[in-house]
Amino acid sequence: MSDRFRLTIAQLNPTVGAFGANAAKAEQAWQAGRAAGADMVALPEMFLTGYQTQDLVLKPAFVADAMAAMEQLAVTCADGPALGIGGPYSDDSGLYNAWWVLQGGKVVARMLKHHRPNNDVFDEVRLFDQGPISGPYRIGPLRVGTPVCEDAWHEDVPEALVETGAEVLLVPNGSPYRRDKLDLRMQVIVARVVETGLPLIYLNAVGGQDDQLFDGASFALNPGGELALQLPPFDEVIEHVDLARGPEGWRVLQGRLAPQPDTWEQDYRAMVLGLKDYLGKSGFSKVLLGLSGGVDSALVATIAADALGPANVRCVMLPSEFTSQASLDDAADVAHRLGCRLDTVSIEGARGAVAQALSGVMAGTAPDVTEENIQSRLRALMLMAISNKHGEMLLTTGNKSEVAVGYCTIYGDMAGGYNPLKDLYKTRVFETCRWRNANHRDWMEGPTGEVIPPAVIDKPPTAELRADQKDQDSLPPYEVLDAILERLVEGDQSVAEVVAAGFERATVKRVEHLLYISEWKRFQSAPGPRLSTRAFWLDRRYPMVNRWRDQG
């Protein structure tokens, strides 16, 4: 019996519902493995259908098509290494999140996910039935145990696989990104390796799906927690992993250890890839956005240029009488530095027409936020018209701080198909701009250098909807606002706890009030990439109508 085993792992980017395209990617990986002399080729959880499918997987026709595609893939990949790939399975006993092993033109094993995550961004309990704990399967000289994603986060499935003869654990995953997620994965998987005494290969998907990102960063650990392989995050990679059997059993031979970028770079890459995949998988290749001369729209324009290339980004300045010359100059500077097209469309004529049309029903009232919101909604009207005419998806540019407290206009600056900054607080917006000015990577399609003028980052934020307006007129300073929001949202702290941390009670209560009354706006907001543990709607789901307030 051979003492060597070659496993090809394919850290790839599927598209939900694109069975043919996903199967073609799987076949390409299998061909690469066959050419490299692999014994087995492995792809991530639910790869054939894409992940997450949400309620699509409850449609019997969807599952039937997926299973038919899986059977065809087995035939296509009959002459060569075994192929492990995720996809749904249904029979009289139920519907399962399964991982299929194909060899010699047929299905030779099928692992049914036992633990269904029902927290965080997952609700698999309502989608899938619980599978039994599957035993190991033999591929050539090796008995492989496959806990499917969540199964590796619990002790019982790996323990049962060891007891039934598994010699290595291969874990296919659809594990979504959020800040510092790799550290958490490592902690959990090290525990499994220590408990089982087996080497473990953790294979994760990459790519964007709606508001979730899968970051790859696949790795392998040997007993004792020794890191034998680490793949880069967010890149598609096909990697050949060699295992050898020695006196103490099977071990993963040392492979490459790709460096893992810091948090700022990973968040930025997530925003770029999230936008790129949301557009590409939806059939869009171009975007537009309102470029105000402010920091948020400057960062969105930069993200778009890095995702799609500057030639595919249209920036539009929509001035009113309140737009300063500095804002006009800053917007032009950003567009020039990025190499993006900049159009100017004044809203003054339209604003006058709307004021005239409303003059009767608004007679005798004083100008207030109503007139400010008209300006924002007129800008949305102009931008959506350009979007419709040229087939460019409109990006909205509100950050998490503004979205949290409703400092945004529904059907105005909130209008758009995608929001790259949705889960990024304002203070992080500033720092992300500075990071991008100082760094450029091969995966960025935008230019190198200082693409966001320091003047744009440093000037006081303003919506410019009235004379001399500043955000701080309506909100606490962003460093205070964000610190309170992080405690209320990410930390789920009580008002008393936030006050005990040194914040004024009146300010905390005001922020809490704004947070709750803005839920209806967030319900209608554009999707955007999840970066944190408490992204609005994905992680934090609150009622729109809510009369409770924390009296602590």
Q: Which residues belong to the active site?
A: 45, 113, 149
Dist CA 324 CA 284 (whole Å): 33
Q: Does the N-terminal peptide bond of residue 187 adopt cis geometry, omega within 30 degrees of 0?
A: no
Residue 250: DSSP 8-state: E
Residue where the block lists tokens 């027409």: 353
Residue 109: DSSP 8-state: E
**Residue 202 token pair:** 């953790």
Angle at 341 between CA 338 and CA 345, to 5 degrees: 130
Residue 449: DSSP 8-state: S
Dihedral angle over CA of 377, 272, 423, 526, nearest 10: 40
Dist CA 48 CA 102 (whole Å): 13
For the chain, how big is the Rg over CA atoms in Å?
26
Q: What SS3 string covers 185-215?
A: HHHHHHHHHHHHCCCEEEEECEEEECCEEEE
Dist CA 38 CA 81 (whole Å): 6
Give, rounded to a whole angstrom, the gap between the first and last alpha carbons of the chain: 69
Please provide residue 23's backbone torsions phi and psi, each rounded to the nearest 5 degrees: -65, -35
**Residue 386 token pair:** 């350009």
Dist CA 434 CA 452 (whole Å): 8
Neighbour order of strands in the sheet with 219-222: 137-139, 142-145, 168-173, 200-204, 219-222, 226-230
**Residue 494 token pair:** 């009580």
Dist CA 206 CA 277 (whole Å): 11
Handedness of CA 162, 168, 171, 172 (dihedral sign): negative
